[in-house]
Chains A and B, each alone.
Chain A
Amino acid sequence: MALTTAPDPTRRGPGTDRAHATRRGPGLRHSEGLAGYVFLSPWLIGLMGVTAVPMLLSLYLSFTNYDILTPFSEVRWVGLANYERMFTSDPSYWHAVRVTVTFALIAVPLKLAAALGVALLLNRAWRGVGLFRGLFYLPSLLGGSVALAIVWVNMFNRDGAFNSLLSLVGIQGKPWVNDPDWALETLMVLAIWQFGAPMVIFLAGLKQVPTELYEAASVDGAGRFRQFRNVTLPMLSPVIFFNLVLETINGFQGFTAAFVLSNGTGGPVDSTLMYTLNLYITGFTDLEMGYASAMAWVFLLAIAVITAIFFSTGRFWVHYSDGEDR
């Protein structure tokens, strides 16, 4: 990789004479460093202007009573009041936390189980795999849209397709989306229906498992279940880990379907008040932007903590086949 000693005429590098050319000459390094920042500049400006400064602004606002209507000069510092309110005297905040955690705890494992199960079914090489894989992936492309959420809500409504299927087996359905006990469940089903994206990743992971391992296991007398437990699962654990982290973080951020189902209110009876929907209502309907900023920061910290927990427990069950743990 050592640079050739050719006297390269680096542009605007006056200092590149032969003496320095044995290694990367200072002139070259200088011009490359400059070029690096030229190429990086859009990203850097974006990082500062669209990410870093807004985050700091948000942190500051979370200690104020800012709403969009009062001018900046009249913003009042309220200390920890927003955080205090969130943790001690805002029942709908804790309700939103509960709804979100319930959603993630149920929908994410079921979605991953569906993804893994179908991936295992598909993993045997035969001609139809490509077609099936594509069809199963389709919901992941369409499922996050408003259009599909609209369809979903109607499908689980009184005259929807789900009830007409139930009536075929003689069960009297109900408008599930209007029932506080069932509305969130319909959103979970929507999330599980989009199992295609993690499935594709599982499939790629399954392809990496060497067939010799299965042969060795079957020589040792391991049946299909033992092979799954002792070969497939450990070999697949990095991919399971990856999907678990990604889907959990996505699960916490569910917004569109809950918004469509409840027409932006989180109803019926707050049963679909996801965290992000609650944040949206607080910030953009009630215009309590200081309070919403505090919610956003707690959300960010919660996600960071959960990710950290995943990574610290991962070393106990994630197996990397190159022998290096972690």
Chain B
Amino acid sequence: MVAVTPTAGVPTGPAPTARRRPGGRTLLRLLILVAIVAVVLYPLIWMVGTSVKSQEEIVNNVGLLPERFTPGNYTAGWSNFDVSFGRFFLNSAMVSLLTVVGNGLSCLLAAYAFARLRFRLRGLWFAVMIGTLLLPQHVLIVPQYILFRTLGLVGGEWPYLPLLIPQFLATEAFFVFLMVQFMRGVPRELDEAARIDGAGPFGIFRHIILPLSRPALVTTAIFSFIWTWNDFFRQLVFLSQLEDYTVPVALTLFIDSTSQSAVGPMFAMSVLSLLPVFLFFVAFQRMLVEGINTSGIKG
């Protein structure tokens, strides 16, 4: 038997004798992939289906979709607690958007220094930055809590400061690293040209690096938003008043009330909470997948 060369994708077609086998293989592969897609999507579809089932159907109807469409779970969930879910969504949106701004600004500044400027101890600081990449946030949470509490910022006038201050100080080393990698791809000739035109480090940053770094900034913005929107640990630790809660912390309130009647509203609010991330996914699918690629592989 002639070995079938697995060189699909190479324009020169395989020998005619081997034609039939790859066709069958491709079909089989497609079937397997479709089956995996079904497994992957099943929980998501079940989630959406359950969110529009009546309480009775949640227990009795095992199917994916409801027999009768019941949108009432959404209104019930929205006002299930003393504070409306609208407030929680606003809180989450504010924290996430400010995190986007903070990460974008501070990481870009640090990355420019690392990628382009010469200064004393640059190598050392860069190594330290890489070291913090793998530092688990759980290790820092206790002392950070103590520090922010001592400063009166936990549960203070504006309880989001402990969540936001680190984001304005470039502590997400992942984004700094991503931007450094990106800036290294910007031709240095542009810097030289600007320097000849009389630009200093600030001018080069303002007129060369900042405009050319837009793709890296967009990637950072999208990932910052999604990660912060989904983040639970820090928000759980630092937020203590119901009206300050973000969506993830508020969702856990449903678990406390274990009564069966809360399942529909709980699912409805879960679906709503995932909606922004899902929309981001639809809009920026390519960029998200490729952003992971370029940041993950290089270095």
Contact = CB atoms under 8 A, between A and B. Distances in A.
Interface of A: 1, 3-4, 6, 8-11, 24, 29, 31-37, 39-40, 42-47, 49-51, 53-55, 57-58, 61, 68, 118, 121-122, 124-126, 128, 130, 132-139, 141-142, 144-148, 150-152, 154-155, 159, 161, 164, 167, 193, 197, 200-201, 204-205, 211, 214-215, 218, 221-224, 227, 239, 242, 249, 252-253, 255-256, 259-260, 263-264, 276, 279-280, 283-284, 289, 292-293, 296-297, 299-300, 303, 307
B120 A54 contact: no
B233 A46 contact: no
8 contacts: A36-B119, A40-B125, A42-B168, A68-B145, A141-B277, A150-B254, A155-B46, A218-B6
A58 B297 CA distance: 33
Nearest to A276: B138
Contacts of B136: 249, 252-253, 276, 299-300, 303
Give the 9 A-B residue pairs with the shortest CB-CB distance, closest first.
A46-B169, A36-B119, A164-B62, A35-B201, A54-B143, A125-B9, A147-B270, A43-B110, A36-B117
A181 B202 CA distance: 60
Interface in B157-211: 165-166, 168-171, 176, 188, 192, 195-196, 198, 200-202, 205
A42 B9 contact: no
Interface of B: 3-10, 26, 29-30, 32-33, 36-37, 40-44, 46-47, 50, 58-59, 62, 64, 105-107, 109-110, 112-114, 117-120, 122, 125, 128-129, 132, 134-136, 138-147, 149, 165-166, 168-171, 176, 188, 192, 195-196, 198, 200-202, 205, 226, 229-230, 232-233, 236-237, 247-249, 251-252, 254-256, 263, 266-267, 269-271, 273-274, 277-278, 280-281, 285-286, 288-289, 292-293, 296-297
Given A9-B198, A50-B169, A256-B232, A204 B144 contact: no
A135 B289 contact: no
Interface of A is mostly: helix
A137 B288 contact: yes
B141 A218 contact: no
B3 A223 contact: yes
A216 B174 CA distance: 39
Given A147-B271, A155-B43, A276-B138, A121 B263 contact: no
B110 A42 contact: yes
A53 B150 CA distance: 14
B277 A142 contact: yes
| Listed residue (A1, A42, A44) with the most chain B CB atoms within 10 angstroms of its CB | A42
Contacts of A252: 136
Contacts of A221: 3
Nearest to B32: A121
Given A42-B169, A55-B143, A224-B6, A31 B26 contact: no
A155 B39 CA distance: 13
B292 A255 contact: no
Nearest to A48: B169
B58 A159 contact: yes
From B50, B139, B270, residue with most partner A Cβ within 10 Å: B139
A299 B142 CA distance: 13
Nearest to A152: B43
Nearest to A283: B142
